[in-house]
Amino acid sequence: MKFKKSEKIELKKSTAELKQGLEDLCAFANSGTGTLYFGISDKGKIIGQEITDNTLKKVSTTILSLIEPRLYPNVYVGKMDGKDILVVEVKNSPEKPYFYKGKAYKRLGTTNVYLSRYEIEKYLYERENPAYRFDKTIIKEYKKGVALKTLKWFLKKAKEERNLPVNLNESRNIILNKLGLLTQDKLNFAGLMAFGKEIQSYFPDTILKCALFEGIDKTKRILDHIEIKDNIFNQIDYAENFILRNIRRSAWINPQTGRREEQYELPYLAIREAIANAVAHRDYRIPSHIDVAIFDDRIEVWSPGGLPLGVRLKDILKRRISVLRNPAIAEVLFLAGYIEKWGTGIDKMNSLMKEYGLTLPEYEEVRGNFVVTFKRKYEPITEQVTEQVTEQVQKLLSICEKEPLSSKELMLKLGLSHRPTFLYNYLKPALKAKLITMTIPDKPQSSKQKYVISEKGKQVLEAG
């Protein structure tokens, strides 16, 4: 295999030429896309080089430190002719113009040339103008300042996840400015969503709703639900916790280690990726919210706004094109490790579902929303299935037999103190199998809710 320099390819013998390669990366970022290979000679001969974790760290840190604004290329090790090659891939960089040593370059053929003053001014205007970038909009009415605890947590997390160079002696505004969270020295929308206080008081629709539905549609009861009114990091974390407490989990003893092992029915990292992408890429100008809906046969993640203008569904499915609607929001989520390199989300979700031997997720646009659907293994409940109940459900039925009891009363009688254990091993299986009923079925979340055995439950109890 032989390589040749081009408008989108640059070759270097080794990472000893990293400083020269930074100019090329800057030019690729301002031009659109490009790939820099270390371990291939100027004439295209594959030489290879030794690549360690320190090599990868040094390359990533140098790029982060010396190109402004910060550039986040895809850095990885490739194999060519049996030799290790370091690949640095730049694509769809959102913060143009980029500068290296105070100069902005673009790619022209196989060489790098300076951006004109007009090009620099145009890029700067588009980057800061809300007509092009809503997440850069200044929130004039916001006066509450920054949640310092969240900012400190983020800086520590970004250093751990992406080796972000952090100078804690710098002022808060300098740090926020470098992160692209200030516009004209004032907190912008992205900054508010990441580090603001009482965010939903200013933007009520920037919430994430999760619901567990009985059955396979929304016509029956809601068994569990939350509305997450918080910053973008907590929205993802709390939604993930909601998913985990409402999907099945199997456990077994590993015969080789003798240790207990567990696995969820779905790869939760795939669902987390869908939620994180919804938070990063939704259209925040639309008066709507992100929805996560769990049904017996599937999980859906709804993101308001559909795909960005000019991007087709087949583009992101086949060519993995990534156009960032909210680059500043995406950047802080990337730095904190919530999303990966641009354009890899679908590959990651598909790969994780394959590893579990499950059907690939479905991706579609529905009524102005982008929807990701994960299929669950589903068997409709039948009389034969529900008659074979677990020992936990059997205990619950015997307690519910005499009188209606609240969840707290049931837990007390069962000797349980851990509410999730009670919910997912006792109460929800019994409700799902219709072995118990609610005393206030129209208000499942009522504080006065109690549970009583059903006729079907009595039959199962007698048979057991």
Residue 398: which of 389, 321, 1, 385 has the closest Cα? Answer: 389
Q: Give the model's pLDDT for residue 424.
A: 80
Find the CATH number of the domain harbouring 431.
1.10.10.10
Co-location of 349 and 447 in the same domain: no
Q: How confident is the model at residue 168 (pLDDT cuts 50, 70, 90)?
A: confident
Q: Give the model's pLDDT for residue 386.
A: 42
Co-location of 244 and 320 in the same domain: yes
pLDDT of 307 over the 80 cut: no
Q: How confident is the model at residue 301 (pLDDT cuts 50, 70, 90)?
A: very high
pLDDT of 95 over the 90 cut: no
Q: Which residue has the higher pLDDT, 435 or 311?
A: 435
Co-location of 312 and 194 in the same domain: no
Co-location of 161 and 175 in the same domain: yes
Query: Among 105-114, 229-238, 440-449, which stretch is predicted with the lowest mean pLDDT?
Result: 440-449
Co-location of 62 and 115 in the same domain: yes
Co-location of 351 and 389 in the same domain: no
Co-location of 358 and 242 in the same domain: yes
Co-location of 366 and 217 in the same domain: yes
Rounded distance, CA 126 to CA 130, Å? 8
Co-location of 197 and 299 in the same domain: no
Co-location of 226 and 156 in the same domain: no
pLDDT of 382 over the 80 cut: no
Mean pLDDT of 314-326: 69
Q: Report if residue 128 sits inside a domain.
A: no
pLDDT of 238 over the 60 cut: yes
User: Which two three-digit tokens encode residue 185?
Assistant: 């020295």
- Strand blocks (E) in 13-60: 33-38
Q: Report if residue 1 sits inside a domain.
A: no
Do 344 and 321 contact (CB within 8 A), yes or no?
A: no
Find the CATH number of the domain harbouring 61.
3.30.950.30
106-149, pLDDT tens digit by residue? 999 899 999 988 888 878 877 766 556 788 888 888 989 899 99
Rounded distance, CA 28 to CA 115, Å? 12
Q: Which residue has the higher pLDDT, 337 or 163?
A: 337
Last residue of a domain, one of 334, 355, 375: 375
Query: Among 102-116, 220-234, 328-342, 361-375, which stretch is predicted with the lowest mean pLDDT?
Result: 328-342
Rounded distance, CA 386 to CA 395, Å? 15
Which domain range does residue 340 map to?
Answer: 208-375
Q: How confident is the model at residue 385 (pLDDT cuts 50, 70, 90)?
A: very low
Q: Residues with Cβ < 8 Å from 370, sequence gap 6 or more?
A: 278, 281, 302, 303, 305, 306, 307, 363, 364
Find the CATH number of the domain harbouring 363.
3.30.565.60
Q: Report if residue 391 sits inside a domain.
A: yes
pLDDT of 309 over the 70 cut: no
Q: Report if residue 317 sits inside a domain.
A: yes
Q: Which residue has the higher pLDDT, 324 or 219?
A: 219
| Average pLDDT over the chain, rounded to an integer | 87
pTM confidence score: 0.63
Rounded distance, CA 412 to CA 394, Å? 16
Last residue of a domain, one of 153, 179, 202: 202
pLDDT of 44 over the 50 cut: yes
Sign for the CA dihedral angle at 201, 202, 205, 207 comes to negative
Question: Structurally, how many domains does the chain consist of?
Answer: 4
47-92, pLDDT tens digit by residue? 999 999 889 888 988 998 899 888 888 888 999 989 999 999 987 6
Q: How confident is the model at residue 154 (pLDDT cuts 50, 70, 90)?
A: very high
Last residue of a domain, one of 352, 375, 398: 375
Co-location of 186 and 320 in the same domain: no
Co-location of 367 and 221 in the same domain: yes
Rounded distance, CA 98 to CA 164, Å? 18
Bridge partners (DSSP) listed for residue 46 = 40
User: Which two three-digit tokens encode residue 256?
Assistant: 């080789």
